[in-house]
């Protein structure tokens, strides 16, 4: 016999309250004169025996109700040992509290299994509880009672942590205190890396609370239809819905965006992704918050996803041209858009020093070789403070060192005939909608042979030399040609304008993230040192900035709940940033790893059924309720 919350046992003494009250009321009975007891004698003769009996019955029932209730709070149970799970040692219980365990009744099964395990051990043995998310991280073993109490406070998270690190930690503790490890999980495929292996000498047993059959669909992605959304053009929302289960499902997806609500019903075949586009759209400049909800599904966490759409005002671009390389073609291409998303200023290189770079989101330098050292210094400050640049090397001089700190060129190449684009990275946002055939139609008869070291190659020419590079250290894109007729006929091709637009939009818009995954750390650089207040789904948090890389920075680590997080300036009450925190979509995939894999990883799968522990809490509560009901019946 044990108690889950033995700390409440002394309160059972409170059951004596009715008896004490009864005795006190007897002792302090009021005496009063009465003219004649003639009538009362006749009444009392009839009532006396029943009244006395009723009084005693009431006293017994009250005491019983109170004692049962108080005993139930201590949660008594009968101890039953579980064969095969380290009976002689202390036990480390690792609980998988990722959101996949909230599917159907898995979480209840998880807690129930943990309780049975704790109750199965002898009174002389202790328990350490660990969770994958880290919400419980015990270092020292505790007796059964506190462990059970701790278990009651445990809630499933919206996170998707893997078991690798917590199992490593459990193994380390197990080795030091000679304990056995039991991990309770739904055995989801992604929960344990396939290359993870148990330390020899550590006994790890897995209690499986999952099942091979499941029926779950979830939102795997929610994003604007156009990656480079801008004001003036309606931006619609797309969503990817994945049916992870083995049967076709019908779900209703409901989007709410900027006060608009829209629902779509969709049928999704098993193990298939469906993409839907909503007609709801936003077009005015501003920041919009949206939420998509998938109805009638069993796993709730991946059925809700948030989105923040930021539509900027016009993008200000500075084009720096030299005497030999004109910026007219680039300027014309950028302003050709009827929506006029870009505001372009074209200046000669000698006037670059008079421009304030802070006024521009992107600076396009047509002929980097023409920049003076002081111009490069200013440009460097601009980049390191968050600015973006597009470099288009023109006529590269013989002394390549003068080309600037961000480009290494091996000189100008004039191939026999021409080259064209032969290879592009279609996964990159700039090129994801650009067709290689259209890009390859442009003929290039002169280009700079760029050094790809330290850069990401987005496109290559037919002679394998880089055509478009992305600098990984800065927000910087480098083309191998200047868009002038001296280099190619690229400017006359239809693909030139969209490629230039996407490049500039990409550089202008990746300035901040608007989506994070639950559990991520959100780190924002600020313009000043005033504190921020964050509205989170859990409530308001005040963040004091710290200096990081020379700039005031706020860091938010508590992002365990999905939702919209709004960062406001404490002094100006102005929204600084709005971001969406979403659950990791992959956690919704409940496919499990095989028991063979478990064996190979050195984990033993518990095959028996855990004995039902005799928990007296509920019967005692029923007893208390029955006693209370009987008391009421007697009273009325």
Q: Kindly list the residues in this chain that would bind other proteins in the complex (CB under 8 A).
A: 25, 29-44, 46-47, 51, 54-55
Nearer to other proteins, 43 or 605 (CB): 43
Specify whether the CB–CB gap between 297 and 303 falls below 8 A.
yes
CB 35 → other proteins: shortest distance, Å?
Answer: 4
- Please report, to the nearest 10 degrees, the dihedral formed by the alpha carbons of residues 559, 565, 570, 576 taken in order: 120
> Which residue, 36 or 547, is less far from other proteins as judged by CB?
36
Question: Residue 81 CB, nearest distance to other proteins (Å)?
Answer: 54
Which residue lies nearer to other proteins by CB, 373 or 635? 635
Phi, psi (rounded to 5 degrees) for 37: -100, 15
Q: Which is nearer to other proteins, 25 or 385 (CB)?
A: 25
Please name every residue paired with 616 in a beta bridge, in sequence order, or none if there are none.
none
Rounded CA-CA distance 449/459 in Å is 13
CB-based contacts of 620, cutoff 8 Å, min separation 6: 68, 69, 71, 72, 76
CA 348, 352, 358: angle at the middle one, nearest 5?
A: 135
CB nearer to other proteins: pick between 51 and 339:
51
- Smallest distance from other proteins to CB 636, Å: 11
Structure tokens at 314: 């016009």
* Nearest residue (CB) to other proteins, 29 versus 398: 29
* Closer of 398 and 633 to other proteins (Cβ): 633
Through-space distance between the first and last CA atoms of the chain, rounded to whole angstroms? 38
β-bridge partners, 263 = 254
CA dist 303 to 17, 298, 348, 583, 586, Å?
51, 9, 54, 9, 12
The helix (run of H) or strand (run of E) holding residue 509 is: helix 496-509
Q: How far is the CB of 38 from other proteins (least distance, A)?
A: 6
Please, which residues bridge with residue 311 across strands?
Answer: 286
Q: How far apart are CB 624 and other proteins at their closest, in Å?
A: 25
Nearest-approach distance from CB 26 to other proteins, in angstroms: 9
Cβ proximity to other proteins, 42 vs 194, nearer residue: 42
Contact 327, 319 (CB under 8 A): yes
CB of 209 to other proteins, least distance (A): 55
- Integer Cα distance of 599 and 115 in angstroms: 26
Q: How far is the CB of 37 from other proteins (least distance, A)?
A: 5
CB of 21 to other proteins, least distance (A): 12
Q: Which residues contact 27 (CB under 8 A, 6 or more apart)?
A: none
Residue closer to other proteins, measured from CB, 45 or 414: 45
The residue written with tokens 């701790």 in the block is 150
Helix (H) or strand (E) holding 345: strand 342-348
């Amino acid at each position: 016999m044990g108690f889950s919350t033995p700390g409440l046992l002394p309160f059972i003494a409170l059951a004596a309250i009715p008896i004490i009250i009864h005795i006190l009321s007897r002792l302090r009975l009021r005496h009063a004169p009465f003219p004649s007891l003639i009538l009362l004698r006749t009444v009392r003769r009839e009532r006396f025996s029943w009244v006395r009996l009723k009084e005693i019955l009431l006293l017994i029932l009250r005491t019983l109700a109170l004692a049962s209730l108080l005993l139930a709070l201590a949660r008594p149970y009968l101890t039953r040992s579980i064969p095969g799970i380290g009976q002689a040692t202390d036990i480390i219980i690792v609980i998988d509290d990722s959101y996949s365990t909230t599917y159907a009744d898995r979480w209840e099964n998880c807690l129930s299994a943990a309780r049975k395990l704790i109750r199965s051990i002898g009174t002389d043995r202790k328990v350490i509880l660990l969770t994958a998310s880290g919400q419980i991280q015990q270092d020292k073993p505790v007796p059964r009672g506190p462990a059970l109490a701790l278990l009651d406070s445990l809630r499933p998270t919206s996170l998707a942590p893997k078991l690798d690190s917590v199992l490593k930690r459990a193994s380390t503790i197990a080795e030091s205190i000679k304990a056995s490890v039991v991990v309770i999980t739904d055995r989801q495929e992604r929960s344990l890396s396939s290359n993870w292996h148990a330390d020899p000498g550590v006994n790890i047993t897995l209690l499986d609370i999952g099942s091979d059959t499941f029926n779950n669909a979830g939102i795997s992605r929610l994003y604007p239809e156009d990656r480079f959304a801008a004001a003036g053009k309606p931006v619609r929302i797309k969503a990817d819905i994945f049916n992870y289960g083995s049967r076709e499902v019908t779900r209703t997806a409901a989007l709410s965006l900027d006060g608009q609500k829209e629902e779509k019903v969709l049928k999704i075949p098993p193990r298939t992704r469906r993409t839907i586009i909503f007609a709801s759209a936003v077009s005015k400049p501003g920041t919009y918050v949206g939420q998509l909800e998938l109805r009638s599904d069993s796993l709730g966490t991946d059925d809700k996803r948030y989105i923040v759409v930021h539509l900027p005002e016009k993008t200000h671009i500075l084009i720096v041209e030299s005497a030999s390389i004109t910026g007219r073609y680039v300027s014309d291409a950028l302003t050709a858009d009827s929506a006029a998303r870009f505001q372009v200023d074209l200046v000669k290189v000698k006037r670059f020093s008079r421009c304030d770079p802070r006024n521009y989101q992107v600076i396009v330098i047509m002929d980097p070789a023409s920049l003076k050292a002081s111009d490069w210094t200013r440009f460097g400050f601009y980049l390191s403070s968050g600015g973006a640049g597009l470099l288009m090397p023109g006529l590269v001089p013989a002394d390549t060192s003068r080309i600037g700190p961000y480009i290494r060129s091996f000189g100008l190449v004039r191939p026999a005939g021409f080259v064209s684009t032969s290879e592009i990275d279609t996964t990159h946002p700039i090129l994801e909608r650009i067709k290689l055939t259209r890009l390859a139609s442009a003929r290039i008869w002169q280009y700079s042979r760029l050094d790809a070291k330290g850069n990401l190659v987005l496109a290559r020419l037919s002679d394998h030399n880089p055509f478009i590079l992305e600098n990984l250290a800065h927000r910087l894109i480098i083309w191998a040609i200047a868009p002038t007729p001296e280099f190619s006929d690229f400017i006359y091709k239809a693909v030139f304008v969209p490629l230039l637009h996407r490049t500039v939009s990409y550089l202008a818009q990746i300035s901040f993230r608007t989506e994070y995954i639950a559990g991520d750390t959100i780190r924002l650089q600020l313009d000043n040192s005033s504190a921020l207040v964050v509205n989170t789904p859990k409530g308001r948090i005040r963040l004091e900035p710290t200096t990081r890389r020379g700039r005031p920075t706020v860091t938010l680590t508590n992002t365990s709940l999905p939702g919209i997080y709004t960062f406001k300036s404490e002094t100006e009450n102005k929204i600084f940033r709005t971001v969406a925190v979403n659950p990791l979509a992959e956690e919704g995939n409940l496919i499990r790893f095989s028991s063979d894999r478990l064996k190979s990883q050195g984990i033993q799968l518990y095959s028996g059924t855990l004995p039902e522990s005799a928990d007296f809490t509920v019967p005692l509560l029923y007893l208390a309720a029955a006693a209370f009901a009987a008391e009421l019946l007697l009273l009325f």
